[in-house]
Amino acid sequence: MRVEGRDEAWLPGQDGRLDRPGGPPEDNHLGRQRRARQRADAGVAGNARLTAANAAVLLVSLAAEGITILRVRQLLSPHVFIGVVLIPPVLVKVASTTWRFARYYTGAPAYRRKGPPPVLLRLLGPVVVVLTLVLLFSGVGLLLVSRPWLPLLLKVHKASFVLWFGAMTVHVLGHLGEVFRLAPRDWLRRTRREVTGAGTRQWLIAGSLVAGVLLGFLLLSHVGHWLPAAPGAGQ
């Protein structure tokens, strides 16, 4: 490709810009390094936006789930349904935070530049993940396991909730400012174009919710079988 008014040949670079083969090699090399760094930083920013937006969805869903806990016997079906809907978004959250954790500790420069969360939140993160998974999947297990396992699984579910609530309170308070700052950015016209991949992140969050709703309807039919088997549930 040639640029009008110039004799030397120009070739499209990786990002669509024009690089001149005849230019100083160090200039081309620095340009490629700069663009690679920008792409890596955009990946970090995209991960942060996905994590924050998904966390906002989880906070709203958990608030609704908390309301059902107040009268869980009467609201058992909504309690189960919302709990199951939470599972795919929780898995997305675990994946995005695990990715950041892994990239930081494997020395990825962009993630090292961003830095880790505060020490307390960094140590608490794996605890929150484990307790969340135990809480959700023990709840699902109460719908599916045979009757002899119900008392033990119910104890696990209740104990994990108590521990999870304490850990999650600290976790939410520690990240609340970041969630409010970053969560809307992929959804506002003036900021969504600042970091590439906003559409993909939006579809990922929406898809996880749709999957959760479908799974919720699928498992909701098991609620009626669980109640007679565990009359003390929810007390």
For the stretch 41-89, pLDDT in tens is 889 999 999 999 999 999 999 999 999 999 888 889 999 999 999 999 9
**19: which strand partners?**
11
Question: Residue 163's closest CA among 122, 115, 130?
Answer: 130
DSSP classification of residue 6: -
Rounded average pLDDT over 172-195 = 94
In the prediction, which pLDDT does 23 show?
A: 54
Which one has a higher pLDDT value, 146 or 15?
146
pLDDT category at 25 given cuts 50, 70, 90 is: low
User: CA-CA distance, 209 to 92, in Å (whole number)?
Assistant: 10
pLDDT of residue 10: 39
Rounded to an integer, what distance in angstroms lies between the CA atom of residue 12 and that of residue 18? 4
Per the CB < 8 A criterion, the answer to whether 129 and 94 are in contact is yes
Per-residue confidence (pLDDT) for residue 1, from 0 to 100? 43
Say whether pLDDT at 19 is over 80.
no
pLDDT for 74? 86
Average pLDDT over residues 171-190: 94
The pLDDT of residue 150 is 86
Which pLDDT score is estimated for 26? 58
Percent of the chain residues past pLDDT 90, beyond the cut = 65
pLDDT digits (tens, 9 = 90+) for 113-127: 998 888 999 999 999
Mean pLDDT rounded to a whole number for the chain: 85
Q: Please, where are the H alpha helices in the chain?
A: 25-70, 76-85, 87-105, 109-114, 119-144, 150-182, 189-192, 198-220, 223-229
